[in-house]
Structure 1
Amino acid sequence: MARTDTASRVIAAPPDRVYAALVDPEALTVWLPPDGMSGRFERFDAEPGGSYRLVLTYADASAAPGKTTADSDVVEARFVEIVPGVRVVQAVDFVSDDPAQAGTMTMTWQVTAVEDGTRVEFRADDVPAGISADDHAAGMTSSLANLAQHLEDLP
């Protein structure tokens, strides 16, 4: 059975700044990697049909082994839909020899103006069975907290 994981957060920043952070590779490397990880893009083309390759590296691989190597997760993604100022949809695959990590996960980032700033909703559909629901929820929440810190610290 396909699994869907979700997380959301209100960020004290206007929707245009939040959306910009969803499609800017420099901003993404700051906020997207969950706590305990760092990230770098090997390529990045944010347009419908464009793609990216992201290497996430664990600071301490003994606590959580990587999906691709002992200390890393490599993500191959394609932009399925980009609605400027509103939504970014990506088809995401982890590079892994483990069949439990196989399969394309659809990640949707939605931004909506609210009274206190912007609600960011993060939805992951068809999450591979090898990704722990608890770990994934913690990672999604961590990324949203990083996004809030990144945007709320900007002048």
Structure 2
Amino acid sequence: MARTDQASRDIAASTERVYAAFVDPDALAAWLPPEGMSGRFERFDARPGGSYRLVLTYDDASGASGKATVDSDIVEARFIDLVPGEKVVQEIDFVSDDAAFAGTMTMTWSVTPISGGSRVAIRADDVPPGISAEDHAAGLASSLANLAAYLER
């Protein structure tokens, strides 16, 4: 059965600044990796039909359980829709030999104006069964906290 995971956070930044952080590879590398990981892009083309390859590396390989290697996850993503100032929709595939991580997850990052800033929401549809709901919730919350710290500094 397909699973949907969601998270949101209010951030003291304009929708324009939040959206810019959604589509800038340097910004994404700073805020997207959850706590305990770092990220680097091997390629990045933010436009409908564009794509990116992101390598996420665990800071402590001794406790890591990476999908691609012992200490890393590799994400292949395609941009499906970009609506400036509103949302980014992308299809995500994890590079892994483990069938539990197979399949395409659709992620929608959206931003709406609220008093004093923006509400940022992440919706992940068709989450692969190998990703535990608890770990995914923690990862989404961590990325949103990183985004807030990045934009509110």
* TM-score normalised by L of structure 2: 0.99
Distance 1:150 1:8 in 2: 16
Distance 1:104 1:62 in 2: 28
Q: Could you tell me how far 1:25 is from its partner in structure 2?
A: 0.1
Letter in 1 for 2:56: L
Are 2:30 and 1:25 aligned? no
The equivalent of 2:64 in structure 1 is: 64
Letter in 1 for 2:20: A
The equivalent of 1:76 in structure 2 is: 76
Q: Could you tell me how far 1:64 is from its partner in structure 2?
A: 3.0
Q: Deviations over 1:53-111 (max 9, x none)?
A: 00000011332310000000000000000001100000000000000000000000000
The equivalent of 1:101 in structure 2 is: 101
1:66-145 matches, cutoff 5 A:
66-145=66-145
Letter in 1 for 2:14: P
Distance 1:105 1:61 in 2: 25
Distance 1:36 1:144 in 2: 14
Q: SS state of the match for residue 2, structure 1?
A: coil
The equivalent of 2:36 in structure 1 is: 36
Q: Deviations over 1:18-48 (max 9, x none)?
A: 0000000000000000000000000000000
Distance 2:60 2:102 in 1: 24
Alpha-carbon RMSD across the aligned residues, in angstroms, is 0.5
- Percentage identity across paired residues of the two chains: 73
Q: SS state of the match for residue 85, structure 1?
A: coil
Distance 1:94 1:143 in 2: 18
Distance 1:10 1:29 in 2: 21
- Larger CA deviation: 61-70 vs 35-44: 61-70
Distance 1:79 1:62 in 2: 33
Distance 1:31 1:43 in 2: 17
Q: SS state of the match for residue 21, structure 2?
A: helix
Are 2:54 and 1:48 aligned? no
Distance 1:64 1:116 in 2: 38
How many residue pairs get aligned? The number is 153
Distance 2:142 2:151 in 1: 14
Q: Which runs of 5+ in 2 are unaligned?
A: none
Q: Which runs of 5+ in 1 are unaligned?
A: none
